[in-house]
Amino acid sequence: VTLHLNPISSVHIHQKPLVFVLNSPLPLVWKLKTERLAPGIQRVFFVSLGSVVQFEKGNFSLSAETEEKLFPEKNEHLLQWAQKEYGAVTSFTELKISRNIYIKVGE
Delimit the domains of the chain by residue range. 1-103
Per-residue pLDDT, 88: 86
- Could you tell me the CA-to-CA distances from 55 to 46, 58, 61, 81 in Å, in that order? 14, 8, 6, 26
Per-residue pLDDT, 73:
87
Q: Judge contact between 105 and 14, C-beta under 8 A.
A: yes
Residues of the chain with pLDDT under 50: none
d(CA 102, CA 42): 20
- At residue 107, the pLDDT reads 65
For residues 105 and 37, what is the distance between their CA atoms, to the nearest angstrom?
A: 9
Which pLDDT score is estimated for 30? 96
pLDDT at 57: 73
Instruction: Let me know: does 107 contact 13? Beta carbons within 8 Å.
Output: no
Rounded to two decimals, the pTM is: 0.90
